[in-house]
């Protein structure tokens, strides 16, 4: 089937205004938020409104043997929505209904195109929250963040997306659909297919409906800023707070390069002389919050940190706005931002911070580091220029070393950004050849002609 025939078949199942083919539209859907990743044009972009339309698109793609790249908001940082093999980009943003908030069972049922913040807005009147909180909470979709298994700012205490996905409806590559999981907290019937599809990066099936877990909103919270003269001491304070048996809802680190960039960008009075700052929040019942905040302050001071407590909601919002500005602020410094999310056990954070400094110095690259320090999920961000071939050789050598060190420290290639295209080559470091082969067999069984997001996560046939 050639491109014209493909478009004609899609027009038989979707309204004309939801099938895009202009050069401008195709260019727009050829890239995503990932830097240092080549764009590829799809042949056609479609916007289904219902599960039935998704099924029809998949049946058309299967019949034509054309690849399909499923896309939410395209904010992933691993090249996950770049249509590397052309074909169809299927954008899920218009399937954006919140179908139900079930306050009795503490669940919400939503379509995949619902933005994460919209779920929180819908459940807030019931005194509930949906905890996963990536930096892109106001733009990223429920389907995309589930397929990526996003983490974010509250992972330390509340866990990540996979801990909140209770049920899914999925359309398979041939257009058949099925549901797994549901509203029951306990469910051990068969293989855990909900977990298999969560984090599958659009390579196994298309998520068309989600049942998510909600929890009661915390009654009280305290937000603190701790300023350190030594990066190493900030690392020790992170480990010390956990060792003191306090699990903050959020414990974020910004190194000096990041602080300077954020302050230049947002001008909110962050210290630019400090080697590192920690942004911390404890939440829960008021008495517990008081106790935990005191413990956090004590540990930070023990390691030389100067602590300020946010005195109002406005001050709190300003601190979190600063954290969410890290990536855009760093991105202003050089044309290309290569951001990684290798993650280590939290006790190894001081080692990882030291290693990152040494790697940056050894390869002569400019690196800012920020991230979710409490769960060992740092974001070393190399600021560079992809047009400078010599510099990019050094950047890629530094990235190789970051992954190697993370694995040596007992960590993982990706804490939350997924594998996509760029990290695929490192998979054997973590899983060995047998583990990678198990993944390949799953992919081959569910998508035998490798039509769903080809080139991502794992190569289909060995």
Ligand X SMILES: Cc1cc2nc3c(=O)[nH]c(=O)nc-3n(C[C@H](O)[C@H](O)[C@H](O)COP(=O)(O)OP(=O)(O)OC[C@H]3O[C@@H](n4cnc5c(N)ncnc54)[C@H](O)[C@@H]3O)c2cc1C
Other beta carbons within 10 Å of 301: 13
Q: Which residue sits closest to ligand X, CB atoms considered? A: 144
**Which parts of 390-429 interact with ligand X (CB under 6 A)?**
416-417
**Which parts of 109-128 interact with ligand X (CB under 6 A)?**
112
Minimum CB distance to ligand X smaller for 107 or for 337 = 337
Smallest CA-to-CA distance from 156 within 2, 278, 305 is with: 278
CA–CA separation, 246 and 239 (whole Å): 10
CA–CA separation, 456 and 174 (whole Å): 19
**Smallest distance, Å, CB 378 to ligand X?**
12
**Smallest distance, Å, CB 367 to ligand X?**
17
CA–CA separation, 187 and 178 (whole Å): 16
Pick from 123, 128, 140, 296 the residue near ligand X by CB under 6 A: 140
Cβ(328)–Cβ(261) under 8 Å? no
Other beta carbons within 10 Å of 263: 18
Question: H-type helices in 325-387, by residue range?
Answer: 326-331, 349-363
Pick from 136, 198, 223, 421 the residue near ligand X by CB under 6 A: 136
Site size with ligand X, rule: CB under 6 A? 36
State yes or no: residue 70 binds ligand X (CB under 6 A). yes
Pick from 37, 64, 77, 234 the residue near ligand X by CB under 6 A: 77
**Which parts of 151-170 interact with ligand X (CB under 6 A)?**
151-152
x/- binding map, residues 174-213, to ligand X, per CB under 6 A? ---------------------------xx---xx------
Binding range to ligand X, per CB under 6 A, among 37-45, 141-149, 224-232, 297-305 = 141-149
Rounded-to-10 torsion of CA 169, 173, 176, 180: -30
Count of alpha carbons within 13 angstroms of residue 270, beta-carbon side: 34
State yes or no: residue 75 binds ligand X (CB under 6 A). yes
Angle between helices 349-363 and 231-243 (to 10 degrees): 160
**Smallest distance, Å, CB 153 to ligand X?**
6
State yes or no: residue 148 binds ligand X (CB under 6 A). yes
Angle (CA) 11 27 418, round 5°: 95
Binding site for ligand X (CB under 6 A): 32-33, 69-77, 80-81, 92, 112, 134-136, 140-141, 143-145, 147-148, 150-152, 201-202, 206-207, 327, 416-417, 453
């Amino acid at each position: 089937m050639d491109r014209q025939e493909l478009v004609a078949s899609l027009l038989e199942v979707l309204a004309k205004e939801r099938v895009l083919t202009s050069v401008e539209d195709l260019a727009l859907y050829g890239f995503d938020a990932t830097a240092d990743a080549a764009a590829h044009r799809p042949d056609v972009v479609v916007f289904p409104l219902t599960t039935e339309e998704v099924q029809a698109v998949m049946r058309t793609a299967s019949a034509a043997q054309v690849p399909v790249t499923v896309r939410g908001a395209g904010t992933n940082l691993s090249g996950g929505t770049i249509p590397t093999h052309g074909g169809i980009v299927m954008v899920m943003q218009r399937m954006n209904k919140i179908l139900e908030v079930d306050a009795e069972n503490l669940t919400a049922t939503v379509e995949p195109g619902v933005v994460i913040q919209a779920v929180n807005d819908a459940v807030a009147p019931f005194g509930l929250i949906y905890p996963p909180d990536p930096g892109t909470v106001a733009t990223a979709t429920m389907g995309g963040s589930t397929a990526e298994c996003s983490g974010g700012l509250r992972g330390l205490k509340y866990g990540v997306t996979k801990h909140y996905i209770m049920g899914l409806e999925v359309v398979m590559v041939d257009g058949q659909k099925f549901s797994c999981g549901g509203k029951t907290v306990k469910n051990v019937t068969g293989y855990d297919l909900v977990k298999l599809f969560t984090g599958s990066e659009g390579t196994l099936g298309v998520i068309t409906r989600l049942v998510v877990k909600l929890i009661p909103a915390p009654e009280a919270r305290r937000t603190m800023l701790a300023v350190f003269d030594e990066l190493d001491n900030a690392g020790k304070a992170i480990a010390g707070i956990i060792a003191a048996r306090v699990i903050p809802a959020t414990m974020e680190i910004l190194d000096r390069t990041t602080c300077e960039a954020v302050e230049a960008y947002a001008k909110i009075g962050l210290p630019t002389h400090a080697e590192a700052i920690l942004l911390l929040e404890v939440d829960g019942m008021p008495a517990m919050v008081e106790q935990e905040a005191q413990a956090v302050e004590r540990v930070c001071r023990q390691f030389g940190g100067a602590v300020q407590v946010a005195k109002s909601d406005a001050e709190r919002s300003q601190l979190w706005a600063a954290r969410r500005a890290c990536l855009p602020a760093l991105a202003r410094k050089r044309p290309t931002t290569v951001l990684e999310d290798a993650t280590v056990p939290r006790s190894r954070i001081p080692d990882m911070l030291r290693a990152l400094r040494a790697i940056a110095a050894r390869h002569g690259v400019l690196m800012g580091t920020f991230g979710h320090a409490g769960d060992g999920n740092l974001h070393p961000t190399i600021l560079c220029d992809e047009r400078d071939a010599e510099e990019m050789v050094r950047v890629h050598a530094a990235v190789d070393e970051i992954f190697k060190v993370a694995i040596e420290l007992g960590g993982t290639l990706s804490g939350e950004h997924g594998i996509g295209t760029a990290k695929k080559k490192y998979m054997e470091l973590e899983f060995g050849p047998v583990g990678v082969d198990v993944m390949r067999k799953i992919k081959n069984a569910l998508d035998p002609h490798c039509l769903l997001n080809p080139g991502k996560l794992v190569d289909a046939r060995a």
